[in-house]
C-alpha cells in the first residue's frame, strides 16, 4: 500500500462526511486518497490554525459550504467580510480547475443560503442584541475588562437585581442600579448584599460609561436575538449566519463574548441529544485568541465547561486562530479535529510554539512534522480528526478542496442590501425604546388594571438618566425595598451566569 492509501484508509467513514481534500506524501498528491471529517464527529469540535495568508478562512468557507449542503446550520464570525462570498457563486479559473483535479472534486460554482447579522444597530447586517440581564455578570465583566474582584462585585449587583426580579435591559439600567446601591437611599440595600465597596462600584460605573462611549451600548437591549433564528434551513440546506464584524474590529471582546453568550443560550434551551448523525449547529469562532486574551479565571473555566458540555446538545464548535498555543490547554484537549495550516518559524518564540504544536499530534511514520508544518503550501494543512469510532485518524498532509462560492467579499453595500431584504430584518431592525426598562420597572409597581391601559407615549429618547429617575421614583424605591415582593419574579442564572429561559 502507498503512504497515500494507508493514510486515506484511516479516513473511511460509513456516514456522511465533509470532504476536506486529498493526501500529499513524498511531494505528490493522490486525488483518490480522501481526507474527510465525518459529520457524526463534528460535535467533537475542532481547531483551524495557521499563519496569516495560509488559507484558514477558505477552510472555514469550505466547511460551511458542505455543512450547509448536509442541512446543518452554521454560525460564523465574519471579521473582515471575507466570508460574505458564500452568498455568491465562485469563479472558475485555471487554479480552481487544477485544485479540483488534485482533490478529486467535481467542482462547480455554487452559492449558499446566507443571512447577514451585525452586533447591535449601525452595522451592515440585521442588528442582533442581548439584554444586560440575559448576558449576566461573568460575560459582562469580560466585555468591561473587570478584574476578578470587580467581577465578583458585579455578580453581587446582578444577584441583588435578580432577587428583586429587576430586568436590566440596557447599560443604563445597570448604571442606574449601581448608582442606587452606592447612593444614600441605597445604603441599606448595599448592606444587605455585602462585599460591595464604593470604590469598586465606581470602577464598574466608569467601565460602563466607557463601554457606552465605545458604542457598546448599541448592542444591549431588545429585541433580543432568539437562538432559534440561527437554526434554520432553506430547501433542506442549512442557513449560514454570518456575523459581520468589520465595524467592531475595535471592540473584539464584545463580539467574542457575544458568541459565548449565544453558546450559553443554546446550551440552556436545547435538549440533550446524545450521539448524533450530524450536528444541530456548528459555531465558528474566528480570531479565537481574542476570546482568551485577558480572560478572567472564571471566564476561562466557563468556556472550558461549555465546550465540554455543549457537545451533548449536538453543537460543534470550531476555533480559528493563528497559533494553537493561543488556545488554553484545557480547551485545546477538547478539540477533536485539527486543521493546521503553515506555521512560521522565524523567531525563537515561533520555534517554541512549533515544537509544542508538533507534540499535540499523534505520531506519524510518514512525515517529519516540524518540517511539514513549516513547508505546507497555501490551502494545504496537516490534518487529524476523529473517526466515527472516536479514535484519532492518521496525520495527513492535505491539499484542501477549493470553496465553490466566491473567494472574496461582496462588499458592504451588497451585504446591507441582502440584510434589508431578509425576513429577520422585520423582526430585529427596530431597537425597542430604551425606555422599556423604565416601563417594565413601573409595571411592577402599578396596579394590574393600569397595566392593561394603553401605553403612554414614549418619552424623548435622549432624556437623561431615565433609569436613575425610575430608581429615584418613590414607588419603585418601596418596591425595591420590599424584598420578596409578590410581583418580583426572581431571575435564575445557569451555566455562565446568563439568565435561564423557560421554553
Provide the binding-site residues for ligand ATP, judged by CB under 6 A.
Answer: 50, 52-58, 99, 378-379, 400, 402, 407
Give the three cell numbers for residue 167: 430586568
378 interface partner picked from Mg ion, ligand ATP, none, CB below 5 to 8 A per type: ligand ATP
400 interface partner picked from Mg ion, ligand ATP, none, CB below 5 to 8 A per type: ligand ATP
Separation of CA 418 from chain center: 22
Nearer to ligand ATP, 157 or 402 (CB): 402
Backbone region of residue 343 per phi and psi (left: phi > 0; alpha: psi in -120 to 50; beta: other values): beta
Nearer to ligand ATP, 50 or 123 (CB): 50
CA dist 455 → 168, 265, 440, 467, 479 (Å):
20, 30, 11, 18, 21
Smallest separation (angstroms) from ligand ATP to the CB of 335: 18
Nearer to ligand ATP, 57 or 334 (CB): 57
Nearer to Mg ion, 48 or 254 (CB): 48
174 interface partner picked from ligand ATP, Mg ion, none, CB below 5 to 8 A per type: none
Smallest separation (angstroms) from Mg ion to the CB of 450: 55
Q: Are strands 114-119 and 126-128 parallel, antiparallel or unpaired?
A: parallel
Nearer to ligand ATP, 317 or 400 (CB): 400
Distance CA 164, CA 484 (A): 7
Smallest separation (angstroms) from ligand ATP to the CB of 283: 18
Return the residue nearest Mg ion (CB atom).
57
* Binding positions for Mg ion, rule: CB under 5 A: 57
Distance CA 144, CA 133 (A): 15
Distance CA 259, CA 417 (A): 24
402 interface partner picked from Mg ion, ligand ATP, none, CB below 5 to 8 A per type: ligand ATP
- CA triple 494-174-154, angle to 5 deg: 55
Separation of CA 363 from chain center: 32
Smallest separation (angstroms) from Mg ion to the CB of 65: 16
Q: What share of the chain is helix, strand, coil (3-state, %, to 5)?
A: 45, 15, 40
Smallest separation (angstroms) from Mg ion to the CB of 323: 14
Nearer to Mg ion, 78 or 224 (CB): 78
Nearer to ligand ATP, 375 or 482 (CB): 375
498 interface partner picked from ligand ATP, Mg ion, none, CB below 5 to 8 A per type: none
338 interface partner picked from Mg ion, ligand ATP, none, CB below 5 to 8 A per type: none
Place of cell 436575538: 225
Report helix, strand or coil for 320: strand
379 interface partner picked from Mg ion, ligand ATP, none, CB below 5 to 8 A per type: ligand ATP
Smallest separation (angstroms) from ligand ATP to the CB of 436: 39
Smallest separation (angstroms) from ligand ATP to the CB of 376: 11
411 interface partner picked from ligand ATP, Mg ion, none, CB below 5 to 8 A per type: none
Q: Which residues contact 128 (CB under 8 A, 6 or more apart)?
A: 117, 118, 119, 120, 225, 243, 428
Distance CA 19, CA 400 (A): 9
Smallest separation (angstroms) from Mg ion to the CB of 55: 8
Q: Would you say 426 and 419 are in contact if contact means Cβ atoms under 8 Å apart?
A: no
Among candidate residues 390, 388, 328, the one with its CA nearest the CA of residue 360: 328
Nearer to ligand ATP, 219 or 397 (CB): 397
Distance CA 70, CA 59 (A): 17
Amino acid at each position: 500500500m502507498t503512504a497515500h492509501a494507508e493514510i486515506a484508509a484511516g479516513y473511511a467513514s460509513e456516514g456522511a462526511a465533509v470532504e476536506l481534500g486529498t493526501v500529499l506524501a513524498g511531494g505528490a498528491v493522490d486525488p483518490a486518497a480522501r481526507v474527510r471529517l465525518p459529520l457524526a464527529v463534528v460535535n467533537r469540535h475542532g481547531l483551524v490554525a495557521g499563519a496569516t495568508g495560509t488559507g484558514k478562512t477558505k477552510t472555514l468557507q469550505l466547511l460551511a459550504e458542505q455543512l450547509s449542503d448536509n442541512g446543518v446550520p452554521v454560525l460564523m464570525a465574519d471579521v473582515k467580510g471575507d466570508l460574505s462570498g458564500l452568498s455568491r457563486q465562485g469563479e472558475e479559473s485555471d487554479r480552481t480547475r487544477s485544485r479540483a483535479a488534485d482533490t478529486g472534486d467535481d467542482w462547480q460554482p455554487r452559492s449558499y443560503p446566507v443571512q447577514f447579522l451585525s452586533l447591535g444597530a449601525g452595522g451592515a447586517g440585521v442588528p442582533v442584541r442581548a439584554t444586560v440581564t440575559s448576558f449576566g455578570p461573568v460575560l459582562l465583566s469580560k466585555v468591561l475588562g473587570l478584574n476578578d474582584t470587580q467581577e465578583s462585585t458585579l455578580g453581587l449587583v446582578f444577584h441583588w437585581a435578580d432577587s428583586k426580579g429587576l430586568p436590566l435591559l440596557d447599560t443604563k439600567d445597570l448604571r442606574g442600579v449601581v448608582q442606587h446601591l452606592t447612593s444614600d437611599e441605597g445604603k441599606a440595600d448595599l448592606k444587605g448584599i455585602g462585599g460591595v465597596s464604593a470604590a469598586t462600584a465606581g470602577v464598574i460605573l466608569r467601565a460602563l460609561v466607557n463601554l457606552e462611549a465605545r458604542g457598546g451600548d448599541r448592542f444591549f437591549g431588545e429585541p433580543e436575538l432568539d437562538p432559534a433564528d440561527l437554526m434554520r434551513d432553506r430547501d433542506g440546506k442549512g442557513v449560514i449566519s454570518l456575523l459581520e464584524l468589520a465595524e467592531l474590529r475595535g471592540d473584539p471582546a464584545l463580539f467574542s463574548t457575544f458568541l459565548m453568550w449565544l453558546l450559553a443560550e443554546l446550551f440552556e434551551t436545547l435538549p440533550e441529544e446524545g450521539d448524533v448523525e450530524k450536528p444541530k449547529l456548528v459555531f465558528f469562532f474566528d480570531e479565537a485568541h481574542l476570546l482568551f486574551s485577558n480572560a478572567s479565571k472564571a471566564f476561562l473555566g466557563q468556556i472550558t465547561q461549555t465546550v465540554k458540555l455543549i457537545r451533548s446538545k449536538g453543537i460543534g464548535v470550531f476555533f480559528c486562530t493563528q497559533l494553537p498555543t493561543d488556545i488554553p490547554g484545557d480547551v485545546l484537549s477538547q478539540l477533536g479535529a485539527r486543521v493546521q495550516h503553515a506555521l512560521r518559524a522565524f523567531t525563537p518564540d515561533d520555534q517554541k510554539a512549533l515544537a509544542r504544536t508538533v507534540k499535540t499530534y499523534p505520531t506519524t511514520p510518514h512525515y517529519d512534522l516540524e518540517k511539514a508544518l513549516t513547508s505546507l503550501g497555501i490551502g494545504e494543512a496537516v490534518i487529524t480528526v476523529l473517526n466515527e469510532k472516536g479514535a484519532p485518524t492518521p496525520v495527513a498532509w492535505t491539499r484542501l478542496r477549493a470553496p465553490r462560492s466566491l473567494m472574496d467579499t461582496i462588499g458592504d453595500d451588497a451585504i446591507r442590501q441582502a440584510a434589508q431584504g431578509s425576513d429577520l430584518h422585520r423582526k430585529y431592525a427596530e431597537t425597542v425604546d430604551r425606555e422599556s426598562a423604565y416601563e417594565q420597572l413601573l409595571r411592577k409597581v402599578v396596579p394590574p388594571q393600569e397595566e392593561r391601559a394603553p401605553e403612554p407615549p414614549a418619552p424623548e429618547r435622549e432624556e437623561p438618566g431615565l433609569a436613575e429617575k425610575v430608581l429615584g421614583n418613590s414607588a419603585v424605591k418601596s418596591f425595591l425595598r420590599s424584598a420578596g415582593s409578590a410581583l418580583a419574579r426572581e431571575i435564575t442564572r445557569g451555566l455562565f451566569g446568563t439568565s435561564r429561559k423557560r421554553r
